Amino acid sequence: MSEERTFIAIKPDGVQRGLVSQVLARFESRGYKLVGIKVIKPTKDLLHKHYAEHVEKSFFPKLISYMMSGPIVATVWEGKDVILQGRAILGATNPLKSAPGTIRGDFAIDMGRNVCHGSDSVESANREINLWFKKEELIDWESTNAPWIYE
């Protein structure tokens, strides 16, 4: 079994709207293992590093201001193909293009308030996990559910 990890952040709108438990439940019920979680109010420096590829874009200042507007629940999930499947659980970045049954399809309307962020590749997952978590904040543990999830 692949022990791939992904970074999923519940953004300030998701936290403020009380959607944290519903987001966590979608990943848990799918069979993914939570190996890191914390509530954080990110700094401007952290967000600039996280969104480095968007620094020159016109929406960047508004994005940073929004992401600093309240707490974020930062999580790391582990399991087979969790990056691709995590993106499927979240739905399209634009909630109006997200299918019902996805987090964004069920809980969001505007792209600027799309509830969650999810890593889009192994490289970005590794970079984002290392930005948001110290190594000692991630827990390696054996799930007793694994034989019921993986063949």
Binding-site entries for ATP: 11, 59, 87, 93, 104, 114
Q: Which of 48, 50, 54, 117 is catalytic?
A: 117
Answer whether 58's CB lies under 8 Å from 3's CB.
no
Return binding residues. Answer: 11, 59, 87, 93, 104, 114
Answer whether 72's CB lies under 8 Å from 93's CB.
no
Answer whether 120's CB lies under 8 Å from 34's CB.
no
Is 117 catalytic? The answer is yes
Please tell me the distance from the alpha carbon of residue 71 to that of residue 41, in angstroms, as a whole number.
5
Helix 20-30, helix 82-90: angle, nearest 10: 140
The pair of three-digit structure tokens given for residue 31, joined into one six-digit string: 């069979």
The beta strands (E) that lie in the chain are given as 5-10, 33-40, 72-78, 116-118
Q: What are residue 136's DSSP bridge partners?
A: none
Please tell me the distance from the alpha carbon of residue 54 to that of residue 11, in angstroms, as a whole number.
17
Catalytically annotated residues: 117
